[in-house]
């Protein structure tokens, strides 16, 4: 979503932000870093009001998305007034999807938050390295020459080292053992390949994003309304309105809201619970032991 299309400023107190954050984290997986332009702003913003930007003013947001027709309005009647934070959550999710400041790149963020880079990228790199180590042929009792090169595209900083690598000790022992110590849930080439395949799943990224929005909004509103039905017309209308507002679906799909109902039923049948990835730098994906698996990487 283009940030230039966001026109209205909304300021939330720290307490209101925490209430909205509870929902965005629980139902969408979006934690605090999604809502700040920079990591520095997040650190400095603790305890302070936070400004976000949306396409509609609050009243229009509420009326056009949640009370657009009789079925949506009737569904909203089931939700207590004290659950107003779910509306704030929708506003925060919209802002969280916006492109951030172009002058502040992902590389800038990683430069300031080194451990987050390892969290976001290390598992995939370790899986690729593990497979490379396991699948590279070994010439026993002789050299398996290996050339290590760093900064290949930058002549000034480029460095290379050639190792005889007798009996392929670099891949067979050094690198492989390191990968195995950090990939505690991987015990074979097949398991590693299956895990790596999840990073290259076929299908449009847009579809993955839509599923996260659908499932998050669906579960959040069902819980707030204490709704026990699998799907309902009113809730499908609310989700459809929200997706159209976010420019994620076409007008045709708006007029055919059963497509949303079908998508929900499919996710439920498959046991899918799509969520956005946390940006807080937790290490659960890399270790079940609770220890910091990056300590030996960032010293």
Instruction: Give residue-wise pLDDT tens across range 95-126.
Output: 998 855 444 455 555 666 566 566 667 888 99
222 with 214: CB under 8 angstroms?
Answer: no
- 197 or 171: whose pLDDT is higher? 171
Torsion of CA 76, 229, 275, 26, to 10 degrees: 60
Is 110 exposed, middle or buried (CB count within 10 Å of its CB: 0-12, 13-18, 19+)?
middle
pLDDT at 3 over 50: no
The answer to whether 3 and 13 are in contact (CB under 8 A) is no
**Euclidean distance between CA atoms 70 and 294, whole angstroms:** 53
C-alpha–C-alpha distance, residues 189 and 216, integer Å: 34
Q: Taking 60 as the threshold, does the pLDDT of residue 162 lie above it?
A: yes
pLDDT band at 91 (very low <50, low <70, confident <90, very high): very high
At residue 103, the pLDDT reads 45
């Amino acid at each position: 979503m283009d940030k230039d299309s966001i026109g209205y400023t909304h300021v939330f107190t720290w307490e209101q932000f925490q209430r909205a954050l509870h929902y965005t984290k629980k139902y969408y997986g979006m934690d605090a870093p999604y809502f700040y332009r920079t990591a520095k702003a997040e650190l400095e913003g603790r305890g302070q009001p936070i400004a976000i930007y949306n396409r509609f003013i609050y009243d229009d947001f509420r009326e056009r998305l949640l009370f657009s027709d009789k079925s949506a309005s009737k569904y909203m009647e089931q939700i207590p007034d004290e659950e107003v934070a779910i509306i704030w959550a929708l506003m925060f999710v919209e802002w969280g999807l916006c492109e951030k400041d172009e002058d502040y790149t992902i590389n800038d963020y990683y430069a300031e938050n080194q451990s987050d880079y390892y969290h976001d990228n290390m598992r995939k790199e370790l899986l690729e390295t593990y497979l490379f180590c396991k699948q590279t042929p070994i010439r026993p009792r002789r050299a398996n020459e290996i050339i290590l090169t760093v900064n290949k595209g930058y002549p000034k900083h480029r460095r290379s080292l050639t190792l005889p690598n007798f009996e392929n000790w670099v891949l067979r022992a050094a690198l492989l053992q390191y990968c195995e110590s950090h990939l505690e849930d991987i015990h074979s080439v097949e398991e590693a390949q299956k895990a790596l395949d999840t990073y290259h799943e076929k299908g449009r990224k847009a579809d993955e994003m839509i599923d996260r929005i659908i499932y998050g909004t669906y579960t959040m509103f069902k819980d707030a309304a204490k709704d026990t039905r699998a799907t309902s017309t009113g809730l499908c209308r609310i989700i459809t309105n929200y997706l159209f507002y976010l420019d994620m679906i076409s007008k045709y799909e708006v007029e055919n809201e059963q497509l949303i109902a079908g998508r929900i039923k499919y996710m439920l049948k498959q046991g899918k619970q799509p969520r956005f990835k946390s940006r807080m730098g937790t290490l659960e994906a890399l270790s079940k032991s609770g220890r910091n698996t990056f300590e030996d990487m960032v010293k």
